Structure 1
Amino acid sequence: MMEDRQFLIDLAKMKMPFGKYQGRFLIDLPEHYIVWYKTKGFPNGKLGKQMELVYELQLNGLEDIIRKIRQDYT
């Protein structure tokens, strides 16, 4: 459970490390970009898992949960 909490905190603080949207918080990436990765394949490792969660959150309109966590932990 603590690992899940830390994963969400890390996601809230994570910025895109490369590409067109480098430096933008993952949760703030445009939906079309995340959908493109969904069809292309998310990167391996933690970044891919974070982006996959962003996809699910955006799909369900829950991005504000992560933005609230970012406010609380920055």
Structure 2
Amino acid sequence: MEMTQPNPEILQQLVTMKMPFGKYKDVILCDLPVSYLEWFQRNGFPKGKLGMMLETMLVIKMNGLSHLLTPLKK
């Protein structure tokens, strides 16, 4: 089985892109609480790139992989 490598561009965006709306407006995606990401999981992620980014962040946090983003934070 081939392991797929995470897209470095997406990982970089997770530590720079800010939430554009809602309770956590202007919070960097990697700093969003798991409870907020789980709310989207239950109620539906936004369409498009933002939804994909939020879902990716949830997977990273649920699998204890947040440390992978630490070197990308500047």
TM-score (norm 2): 0.83
Work out whether residues 13 and 25 of structure 1, in 8 Å CA contact, stay in contact via their aligned partners in 2: yes
Distance in 2, matches of 1:67 and 1:21, equals: 20
Amino acid in the other structure paired with 2:47: N
Decide which structure has the larger Cα Rg and report it: 2
User: In the TM superposition, what is the alpha-carbon distance from 1:40 to its structure 2 partner?
Assistant: 0.7
1:53 and 2:56 correspond: yes
> Structure 1 67/14 Cα, relative in aligned 2: closer, same or farther at 3 Å?
farther
Structure with more helix by fraction: 1
Which deviations, in whole Å up to 9, do the C-alpha atoms of 1:14-59 show, x marking residues without a partner?
1111001011111111111100101111111111110001110110
Aligned to 2:4: none
Q: Between the two proteins, what is the percent identity of the paired residues? A: 40
Distance in 1, matches of 2:14 and 2:21, equals: 16
Unaligned runs of 5+ in 2: 1-6
Aligned to 2:29: 26
4+ long deviations beyond 3 Å:
none
SS in 1 for 2:73: helix
Unaligned runs of 5+ in 1: none
Over aligned residues, Cα RMSD in angstroms? Answer: 1.8
User: In the TM superposition, what is the alpha-carbon distance from 1:63 to its structure 2 partner?
Assistant: 1.4
TM-score (norm 1): 0.83
Aligned to 2:9: 6
